[in-house]
């Protein structure tokens, strides 16, 4: 094989360095996980250690791009249905984002509070477990998750880009993206699949039968809904319904956040080699585990 010239070596090195710099403008590390500098701070993480969860809290956990905003809307609708008041998120709904004083303010909020989080299992505030709050965890197949993640960084004008899809793919595989590695996240939660206070659901299942998912999730948190109510909530939380209102609910970022909502969009981005690389990583980390089986990786991810 021909040797790389010094000039090419130099350019390669410079390009690598510029990527590192771009990365350090996007992410910072806290206790071994990378987070976006735009919405997370060390001070807030430190304050989060003292957050007092309540048994009635509704904890909605998901890795980024697995449908967190979808769950938030479904639960806002559920609460509006069972109580006369409209549910407004009184703070930025992601638990670990915002200013450090938010946890003090949250003490005043009535139950049930909806807490969305992208934190890995072992980074959640301890009071969630000691006070026995219930946790819903939503997973999405990693290929569509990476695809959605890439588009978000690439398409939204004010969100910094990680570079090309190939660049993003390699950062994703190394876990150098916001909230760290998808695979570490999944391995961590996988150990708790059978915990009594945790319900696992799949984006793909919800996509297939939203009403069944709404019923299952509501029941898990102890909310009793009629068939009609379940249908009305499902109608208001389809992808089409949420995308149509996205500018109103999320401002200019809305249409990017509610982009396509499809299963299998990864096929428009992944090369065969990337697809195989992710299959290998998936097998290495999750094949044969309860979550690996549940994720239906074979059904949704093989071309």
Ligand X SMILES: Nc1ncnc2c1ncn2[C@@H]1O[C@H](COP(=O)(O)OS(=O)(=O)O)[C@@H](OP(=O)(O)O)[C@H]1O
Return the number of the residue (127 or 238) whose C-beta is nearest ligand X: 238
Tell me how far apart the alpha carbons of residues 45 and 43 are, in angstroms, rounded to a whole number.
5
118 catalytic residue (yes or no):
yes
The smaller minimum CB distance to ligand X, of residues 163 and 261, is found at: 261
- CA 206/CA 140 separation, integer angstroms: 10
What is the nearest approach in angstroms of ligand X to the Cβ of residue 250? 10
Q: How far is the CB of 124 from ligand X (least distance, A)?
A: 17
Query: Cα Rg for the chain, rounded, in angstroms?
Result: 20
**Where does this chain bind ligand X (CB under 6 A)?**
62, 64-70, 144, 148, 151, 207, 237-239, 242, 257-261, 265
The count of other CB atoms within 10 Å of the CB of residue 65 is 25
Closest CB 5 distance from ligand X, rounded Å: 41
CB-wise, 110 or 115, nearer to ligand X? 115
Taking the C-alpha atoms of residue 206 and residue 139, their distance in angstroms, rounded to an integer, is 10
Q: Cα–chain-centroid distance for residue 62?
A: 4
Q: In this complex, which beta carbon is closest to ligand X, that of residue 125 or of residue 213?
A: 213
3-state secondary structure (DSSP) of residue 100: coil
CB 151 → ligand X: shortest distance, Å?
6
Torsion of CA 151, 155, 157, 163, to 10 degrees: 70
Whichever of 148 and 176 has its CB closer to ligand X, that residue is 148
In contact, 141 and 204? CB cutoff 8 Å: yes
Closest CA to 188 of 113, 117, 98: 117
CB 284 within 8 A of CB 292: no
Q: Which two tokens stand for residue 66?
A: 């697995």
Question: CA–CA separation, 122 vs 67, rounded Å?
Answer: 21
DSSP 88: -
Single out the catalytic residue among 89, 118, 192, 300. 118
The distance of closest approach from Cβ of residue 203 to ligand X in the complex, given in angstroms and rounded to an integer, is 7
Catalytic residues: 118
């Amino acid at each position: 094989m021909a040797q790389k010239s010094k000039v090419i070596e130099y350019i390669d090195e410079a390009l690598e360095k510029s990527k590192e710099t771009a990365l350090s403008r996007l992410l910072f590390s806290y206790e071994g996980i990378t987070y976006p500098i735009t919405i997370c701070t060390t001070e807030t993480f430190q304050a989060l250690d003292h957050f007092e969860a309540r048994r009635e809290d509704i904890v909605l956990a998901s890795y980024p791009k697995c449908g967190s905003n979808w769950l938030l809307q479904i639960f806002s609708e559920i609460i509006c249905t069972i109580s006369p008041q409209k549910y407004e998120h009184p703070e930025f709904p992601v638990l670990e984002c915002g200013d450090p004083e938010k946890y003090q303010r949250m003490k005043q909020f009535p139950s049930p509070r909806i807490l969305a989080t992208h934190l890995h299992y072992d980074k959640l505030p301890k009071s969630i477990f000691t006070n026995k709050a219930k946790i819903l965890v939503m997973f999405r197949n990693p290929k569509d998750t990476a695809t959605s993640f890439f588009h978000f960084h690439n398409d939204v004008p004010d969100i910094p880009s990680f570079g090309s899809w190939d660049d993003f793919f390699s950062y994703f595989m190394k876990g150098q993206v916001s909230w760290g590695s998808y695979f570490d996240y999944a391995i961590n939660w996988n150990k708790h699949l059978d915990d009594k206070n945790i319900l696992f659901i799949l984006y793909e299942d919800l996509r297939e039968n939203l009403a069944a998912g709404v019923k299952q999730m509501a029941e898990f948190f102890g909310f009793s809904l009629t068939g009609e109510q379940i249908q009305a909530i499902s109608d208001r939380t389809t992808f089409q319904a949420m995308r149509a209102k996205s500018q109103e609910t999320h401002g200019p970022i809305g249409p990017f956040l509610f982009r396509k909502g499809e299963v299998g969009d990864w096929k428009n981005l992944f090369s065969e080699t990337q697809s195989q690389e992710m299959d290998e990583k998936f097998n290495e980390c999750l094949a044969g585990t309860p979550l690996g089986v549940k994720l239906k990786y074979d059904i949704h991810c093989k071309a």
